[in-house]
Amino acid sequence: MRVALFLTCVNDTLYPDTGRAVVKLLTRLGVEVDFPMAQTCCGQAHYNTGYRHEAEPLARHFSDVFGEYEAIVTPSGSCGAMVRELYPRMGERARAEGRGDTLAATLAPVVPKTYELTEFLVDVLGVTDVGAYYPHTVTYHPTCHGLRSLGLGDRPRRLLQAVKGLELRELPGADECCGFGGTFAVKNPDVSAAMGADKVHNAESTGAEVLCAADNSCLMHIGGTMARLETRMRPVHIAEILAGTEEEPSA
């Protein structure tokens, strides 16, 4: 099977290790991965901040770049939700504004074949044990868009539970938002920081070494808060955990 990796602009620029982990993991599972070099950004930050008209060309660009592939895999719940949940909505809005079906028709092909990584592993490849090894205590934070927009459910936890050497600890208040919310973190810094600090304190109470999530944007916020609060925990993307093996362990 040949899939396109939609790495997202945040991962590409700031978290290339996550991308390398996805490539390593999928290749190990027999999937042929391509990275279309023309990919940029799905437009989520624009859309959610109120700049839908700026997001539209980016959505069209996404469809141009990825439209030909059989499946599109992304290690980001929120960018995955942008394509799956909000692209159809953008098409509907354009139609409601009397701009016809063009946008909807352009975006439609990529919507059903875009998968968040853990969804792709469990639903498409049908695996929960990916042969990973990670000898650490881990607590899992289900990010809001993965949890509520994509409905990832217990897929990430099932994948983590199957990892050799990994001890999973339950995170109190797991389904509460970490306070990132894209531009929310900048527009409402006090509330965002308070939410982040509570998330970190809850994570610390588990005694785990690692807080894991399926979205680097949330991890950037949580990790930045951890560093500032001088906790001993570290944020790790789930792809990096799943990519590690006994021969080639992840950090």
Closest approach of another protein to the CB of residue 59, in Å: 11
Which residues contact another protein by CB under 8 A? 7, 9, 11-17, 19-20, 23, 35-41, 43, 45-55, 57-58, 61, 89, 96, 144-145, 147-149, 175-177, 179-196, 220-221, 223-225, 227-228
- Closest distance of CB 13 from another protein, Å: 5
Complex with another protein: residue 99 or 164, whichever CB lies closer:
99
Q: Which is nearer to another protein, 142 or 244 (CB)?
A: 142
DSSP-assigned states of every residue in 65-105:
HHTTSS-EEES-HHHHHIIIIIHHHHHHHHHHTT--SHHHH
Under 8 Å CB-to-CB from 54, ≥6 apart: which residues? Answer: 43, 46
Our CB check for another protein shows the closer of 39 and 206 to be 39
Q: Is residue 52 packed enough to be buried (19+ CB in 10 Å), middle (13-18) or exposed (0-12)?
A: middle
Residue number with CB closer to another protein (166 or 211): 211
The CA distance from 242 to 125, in Å, is: 14
C-alpha dist (Å) from residue 34 to 15, 77, 119: 18, 20, 18
Minimum Å distance from CB 12 to another protein? 5
Least distance in Å: CB of 126 to another protein? 26
CA angle 168, 174, 176 (to 5 degrees): 165
Residue 41 in tokens: 């950004």
- Cβ proximity to another protein: between 162 and 193 the closer is 193
Closest distance of CB 152 from another protein, Å: 13
